[in-house]
Structure 1
Amino acid sequence: MTTNLSRRALFRAAAPAAGATLRPFGRHLAFGADPATQVTVSWQVPGKVTGSYVRVGTSPTTLGAPIAAEARPLESKLSWQQPEEHDFPPHAPATSTQYYLHAKLTGLAPGTTYHYVLGHAGYDPVAADRLGEVASFRTAGTSGAFTFTAAGEQGVGYNAIASNSRVADLAPAFHLALGGLSYAMHEPGDKPASEDFEYDARKWDSFFAQNDPVASGIPWLVTPGHREYEKFHDSNGNGGMRARFAMPDNAWSGSTGIYSWRYHNVGFLSLDAGDVCYRFPAKLDYTAGKQLKWLDAQLGKFRADPAVEFVVVYCNHSVYSTGDRYGAERGAQEKWAPLFDKHGVDLVLTAHNRLYERTDPIKAGKGTKKTGVVNPKTDGTTYVTAGGGGQALDAFYRKAPESYLGHENDSAATMKSYKKGSTTPTVALVTWSRVRYRGYGLVAVDVTPGQLTVRALGEAGDKIDEVVLRRG
């Protein structure tokens, strides 16, 4: 087994503390581009330490030698922030640093359960016989059925914790976190033209601590959202994401949250929707066409790969939605949807609007069929908004009625979207909004050879929607 490294950091006073008094927390895993052999272990420490490492082994009582992790410190000035807890301590320094650590493990064995524990200079859980701190993960096999889950707009709080419980109960192979992660960034009054964001860096600490019981064993593959844009750290607002997460990011050197990978018979692509967002243009066209060119090429590679049956794209902004808060992303409809049609993308998973919605399969902007099994080859792409991960719920535009399993309503709904350079929405009556549900929950996708079964589960675990995608 070989390792590569990455860097990170956490929130605490600048003076270094003794390593013996600090405990790792906020563990979260991610797959590499090859989930059968590559896993990244990420975590935080509440102060500056040296010699951070992970020990890994196939037995919880026989762990290997320490594998060095690389720190990615992230400094935040207090002057940038408006703390959720009303004020900073009176003696707080002018800046705070969060210490994020990452160890990229490669050369792992496919379909194998590994156990791991974290430490640093002055703190060795193995020597202290702290077996309760050992966690585990499982690499992908090479074929076979599997389930993955997806949800966005989680934030921090009791609804978010309940969402984690649903993920844990399902025990998926991995979870897709569809942006709207910590809600450390809030807009005042949801003013699209404003960049006067309210920000509290410490909410990321709460987010990772909250998710640790689940994300320490189930890889979370994240995609950047509207609220992950943090203009303070670099010119395109991606510095925070690069510090906190270690996704494959293999689109090009320096890409952030833009990557592809394959799990068994499904090819996955994560996109940064800020690059095509007309309503909140802070990141609009920041890749100067790189993402669009890469998307076209990577979709072509997937479709030319005989091992890939299905292609799933995930991002934050809803490509097609009748949600009231953010509506649909016209930039994605204009730039991405034609490529989804061209390459026969099967499923697009998004969030942003804090609700659940599924479209009929769509081709060239129009729904193609209302009921029955979907054949993406002929019928088009199914778009799902899964934004019920924990934050306050949104409504459907112009109060369109809900329509879900056992409560069907076949009435048309209204989509709003924003043209480039406009702050006034354009509205259109649409018939492709097949399922609408205002509630918390997540999506579970069951994958078998030749079929994706997409289920939406409500807050009590009840099934509110199911559709079968089958390539004929």
Structure 2
Amino acid sequence: MTHTPPGGAPDVGVPADLAARMSVGEQHEWLTAHLRRHPVSRRTALRGGAGVVAAMGLASAPWTLAACAQAAQAPVSVVGRHLAFGADPQRQVAFAGELTAAPPAGPVVVDLGHDGAFGTTLPVEVRRLVSQVPQADGAIRGSEQFFVHARADGLAPGERYRYRFRLPDGSTTPEAEFTTAPPPGSTEPWSFTAFADQGVDTAPPSGRDEYANEYTPDDTRRTMTPSTALVDRVAAQRPAFHLLAGDICYADPSGHGLPERSDGGSGFDSFDPTVWTTYFGLIERSAASTPWMFATGNHDMEALYDDNRARGASHGYGGHAARLDLPGNGPAGCPSVYAFRYGTVGVVSVDANDLSTEIPTNAGYSGGRQTAWLRDTLTALRADPGVDWVVLFFHHCAFATSRAHASDAGVRAAVAPLCDEFAVDLVLQGHNHQYERTDPIRRGRAAVRAPDGATVRPETDGTTYLCVGSGGRPRYSWQPGETDRYRGHPGPDSGTTVASYVALGEDAQQPEQIDWSQARYLDYAYVTVDVAPGPGRTTLTVRATTDTGREIDRVVLERRSPM
């Protein structure tokens, strides 16, 4: 029996035959013992050429002595800016970025203001992250990164603010703007966007090519760089916020336990922390102004950082504690589990790694705290007269079809009964690299048919589940004999009833004939959810748009609003 099937979780330097039988915590213990036996100082790392990179923001800089010398001469700046909401998006926003070198002497701050002037100075916390990655040849690859974080509280609801990072020498980042959540009772329409399984299209600062960037020859319905194209579309749209349902940047590009290579090409596998730098640079044109809210997927479990518990993170999430700012109002020890309310919509991030039977590396780590918290949170949201809509987002799918992962039995068992009980309106999932929308589901079956353009009433019809793992990584395939089904392309043999399976364990699958797969698109797409508040009638219009800008699917969710 293995804990992690090939491709299931990042390889961080543990020999593949051992890693397959280890949890994240066990992998971390192996790494710690290995590094004790092979101590690496900054000087020896540099002399060996692996490099401790001080200039992660230099997109072309490999981990070499030349890069470090270049970094020492360059002025320090902040790159890869990204925003996140706090627990209260009306009043709380977090600012983050990465320094291109070690922190300068003197404070880094955030200037914040609105109405054309900066009136507030926020202190910045610098979080240092050292990554030492054992390689297949016995070498140690190292990096040293510095992330800057600030938080604003007490903001005014529905207000536009502008900000910039300022360094001790007086230099600043470009100014950017954001808007807080609207005050209670607002009837102004707004939108949010979502996808999952994104990654990057370009080589990271280490200079390595990416296995995950190889697309199949028949993959002709896409832009040349789908991950970048989707960010461009979200940036142009300026939604209120963006949800990413796990598998964020793929610092591990393949997950197959293969040897590390530094000369490009395919067939390598090694955790590379500089991919995060490339990723934040990719999304900055959107995330510097639009809060990006992350859930965690299987490729986001990073055993290298398992002992970083300074902010309650373990189970491979210590790197996230250094890089990301999440609301932090979930159960203890579950950093990527949280909830927030924006307008009349309650949004809940669930950590499916805790629930998965297919990839049980982190399964059960919360000891049941997450599901208990989820029940309490859904109870509170449904009791709140200002909340019309409840949206969940997480990685492993409760309901989806594909040849690669399909549906996860553990996630379905934990989440679906709660969705039924609390009439959850919309669930956004990742993991399967495709777009798929279900008919509204109750008790595991389609309650009503909801073809393209239909109107769904979740109170009576059930929960609509979307798989949006179409954010940029190479696509998967459908089950044998099944085809696409989207606007204008129903597929010759593919209806709403198709063959699929439920993953019962690492190697165990239970076939099922399902009746709920309404829309399917095996390429790159994101979802826009247009919110039209009451009074009287309120709607969520869910639209799927490809990376080339073509709308391929739409459904309207409708509720009565007491507002």
Relative to the length of structure 1, the TM-score reads 0.89
Percent sequence identity over aligned pairs:
36
Aligned partner of 2:473 in structure 1 is 391
CA distance in 1, matches of 2:255, 2:77: 35
Relative to 1, partners in 2 of residues 1:80 and 1:259: Cα closer, same or farther, differing over 3 Å?
A: farther
Aligned counterpart for 1:452 among listed residues 540, 552, 556: 540
CA contact under 8 A between 1:224 and 1:241: conserved in structure 2? no
1:68 maps to a residue whose letter is P
CA contact under 8 A between 2:257 and 2:269: conserved in structure 1? no
Aligned partner of 2:134 in structure 1 is 79
Does the residue aligned with 2:480 lie in a helix, a strand or coil?
A: helix
Is 1:219 the equivalent of 2:219?
A: no
1:151 maps to a residue whose letter is F
Aligned partner of 1:139 in structure 2 is 180
String of CA shifts for 1:288-309, please: whole Å, max 9, x gaps.
0000000000000000000000
Measured after TM superposition, the shift of residue 171 of structure 1 is 1.6
CA distance in 1, matches of 2:444, 2:338: 25
String of CA shifts for 1:283-334, please: whole Å, max 9, x gaps.
0000000000000000000000000001000011111000222211111111
RMSD across aligned positions (CA): 2.4
Measured after TM superposition, the shift of residue 223 of structure 1 is 0.7
String of CA shifts for 1:5-29, please: whole Å, max 9, x gaps.
xxxxxx7249997797111000000
- Could you tell which deviates more after superposition, 447-456 or 294-303? 447-456
The structure whose Rg is larger is 2
Is 1:327 the equivalent of 2:388?
A: no
Measured after TM superposition, the shift of residue 66 of structure 1 is 3.2
Aligned partner of 2:370 in structure 1 is 291
CA contact under 8 A between 2:392 and 2:427: conserved in structure 1? yes
Measured after TM superposition, the shift of residue 109 of structure 1 is 1.3
Aligned partner of 1:128 in structure 2 is none
**Number of matched pairs:** 442
Aligned partner of 2:32 in structure 1 is none
Matches within 5 A, 1:341-360: 341-360=420-439
- Could you tell which deviates more after superposition, 135-144 or 269-278? 135-144
CA distance in 2, matches of 1:49, 1:118: 13
1:53 maps to a residue whose letter is V
Aligned partner of 1:99 in structure 2 is 146
CA distance in 2, matches of 1:189, 1:231: 15
Aligned partner of 1:303 in structure 2 is 382
Aligned partner of 1:428 in structure 2 is 512
CA contact under 8 A between 1:80 and 1:199: conserved in structure 2? no
Measured after TM superposition, the shift of residue 255 of structure 1 is 2.7
Relative to 1, partners in 2 of residues 1:411 and 1:266: Cα closer, same or farther, differing over 3 Å?
A: closer
Is 1:376 the equivalent of 2:458?
A: yes
CA distance in 1, matches of 2:272, 2:141: 14
String of CA shifts for 1:140-164, please: whole Å, max 9, x gaps.
1122311000011110012211011
Aligned partner of 1:170 in structure 2 is 237
| Structure 1 unmatched ranges of 5 or more | 1-10, 126-131
Aligned partner of 2:338 in structure 1 is 259
Relative to the length of structure 2, the TM-score reads 0.75
Aligned counterpart for 2:396 among listed residues 302, 314, 317: 317
String of CA shifts for 1:84-116, please: whole Å, max 9, x gaps.
xxx99xxxx853211111111111111111111
CA distance in 1, matches of 2:540, 2:417: 22
Does the residue aligned with 1:302 lie in a helix, a strand or coil?
A: helix
Measured after TM superposition, the shift of residue 186 of structure 1 is 3.4
CA contact under 8 A between 1:388 and 1:439: conserved in structure 2? yes
CA contact under 8 A between 1:361 and 1:381: conserved in structure 2? yes
Relative to 1, partners in 2 of residues 1:297 and 1:65: Cα closer, same or farther, differing over 3 Å?
A: closer
Matches within 5 A, 1:401-412: 401-408=483-490, 409-410=494-495, 412=497
Measured after TM superposition, the shift of residue 254 of structure 1 is 3.9
Measured after TM superposition, the shift of residue 403 of structure 1 is 0.5
Aligned partner of 2:276 in structure 1 is 204
Does the residue aligned with 1:198 lie in a helix, a strand or coil?
A: coil
CA distance in 2, matches of 1:151, 1:223: 11
CA distance in 2, matches of 1:179, 1:120: 32
Aligned partner of 1:41 in structure 2 is 95
Aligned partner of 1:6 in structure 2 is none
CA distance in 1, matches of 2:388, 2:361: 36
Aligned counterpart for 1:109 among listed residues 143, 146, 156: 156
Does the residue aligned with 1:66 lie in a helix, a strand or coil?
A: strand
Measured after TM superposition, the shift of residue 399 of structure 1 is 4.2
Aligned counterpart for 2:502 among listed residues 399, 410, 417: 417
Measured after TM superposition, the shift of residue 407 of structure 1 is 1.8
Aligned partner of 1:230 in structure 2 is 302
Aligned partner of 1:185 in structure 2 is 252
